[in-house]
Amino acid sequence: MPDTALTNASAQIAGAAKDGLVIKAFFDAPTFTVSYVVHDAETRRAAVIDSVLPYDPAAGRTSPDAANPIIAYVGEQGLTVDWHLETHAHADHLSAAPYLQQKLGGRIAIGAHIREVQQTFGTLFNAGSDFARDGSDFDRLWLDGDTFAIGNIPVTVLHVPGHTPACVAYVIGDAVFVGDTMFMPDYGTARADFPGGDARTLFRSLRRLLELPAETRLFMCHDYLPEGRDHYVWETSVADQRLANVHAHDGISEDAFVAMRESRDRTLAVPRLILPSVQVNMRAGHLPPAEDNGIVYLKIPMNQL
Ligand SMILES: N[C@@H](CCC(=O)N[C@@H](CS)C(=O)NCC(=O)O)C(=O)O
Ligand SMILES: [Fe+2]
């Protein structure tokens, strides 16, 4: 079957104006996450991608420290935020999308397969009937191949499952925000052992992205600073990944990748903030409702992960 969504994304990249799209990265060192503000220089319409709300699990306290610089930048640049785009329900940090939405406006969007993630984690956390598992906590759910625009910049959404079932990549103008599929070439790829994750599916998703034109700019969601490098980086290209990605360069077979990924995943610790992150991010970044004393609580399911 022809991959119409990918063909459309490739055509979009090939035809993209080179000067309209402005990309600003914000790096959150505690979680190694890169958030982005992208905007159209002409209309000054903008989207925020994968924002972070810092969380101190010992105190049970959130902080806007990582989100406030985004608000300041949006103000300085005179931008109108139309979208808060999530590449997936993150397992390592809380999303700041609701906080930013309250301050800046805009709609919160994620891949439509978030419903599967909500089912899984709704069950794990024994969430009450207040928790809708139909994606309605989000303002928009993307299907593979969906298109929209940020000002005059065209966007194509690609469903790239494997790290999680609902992962999407955003092809914005000539740039791709790959989420947790691949990381920088010297670090490799995302883990595939979260609930609903799958190494074979991940390989297919990331190789699909590498079918985009060679010069396509790729922006990572994390940089974990591998040994041998002393500074964080988050931009690479399809050509660089195909040549040099340590887990998935051209010539590495699907079976070899799956064997490598599954054995590596057995060695990885559970992310420090997975339990707070998923029970908040499954609700589009909203905290669970307060109890009758007005206090919000997070749950810790015992001996489940
Ligand atoms: N040490 C980090 C690990 C976070 C983590 O597992 N990150 C995921 C993406 S959400 C991943 O793919 N990591 C790949 C790796 O650690 O090699 C933490 O505790 O938060
Ligand atoms: Fe992730």
- Asked if 141 and 110 count as a contact pair (C-beta separation under 8 A), the reply is yes
**Residue numbers of the chain with a pLDDT score lower than 70:** none
The strand pair at 55-56 and 61-62 is best described as antiparallel
Is 259 part of a structural domain of the chain?
yes
Ligand 2 centroid – CA 113 distance (Å): 15
**Phi/psi at 22 (nearest 5 deg)?**
-110, 130
Is 287 part of a structural domain of the chain?
no
78: nearest Cα among 50, 102, 42 = 42
Residue 97: how many CA atoms within 13 Å on its side-chain side? 34
Rounded to two decimals, the pTM is 0.98
How far is 63 from 76, CA to CA, in rounded Å?
22
Is 285 part of a structural domain of the chain?
no
Pocket test for ligand 1, best of 31, 92, 246, 266 (most atoms within 8 A of CB): 92
Ligand 2 centroid – CA 88 distance (Å): 7
Residue 238: how many CA atoms within 13 Å on its side-chain side? 17
Is 298 part of a structural domain of the chain?
no
Is 30 part of a structural domain of the chain?
yes
Q: How many domains does the chain have?
A: 1
Pocket test for ligand 1, best of 31, 90, 164, 191 (most atoms within 8 A of CB): 191
Q: Is the CB of 223 under 6 A from ligand 1?
A: no
Ligand 2 centroid – CA 77 distance (Å): 29
Burial label, 252 (beta-carbon count in 10 A; 0-12, 13-18, 19+): middle
Q: Is the CB of 271 under 6 A from ligand 1?
A: yes
The enclosing domain of 252 has a CATH number of 3.60.15.10
Is 83 part of a structural domain of the chain?
yes
> What residues pair up with 222 in beta bridges, in sequence order?
33
Q: Is the CB of 29 under 6 A from ligand 1?
A: no
pLDDT at 17: 87
Q: Is the CB of 192 under 6 A from ligand 1?
A: no
State which residues form the domain around 105: 4-280
pLDDT at 1: 85
Is 303 part of a structural domain of the chain?
no
Element (H, E) at 114: helix 114-124
pLDDT at 239: 98
Number of separate helices (H) and strands (E) present in the chain: 8, 16
How far is 130 from 258, CA to CA, in rounded Å?
38
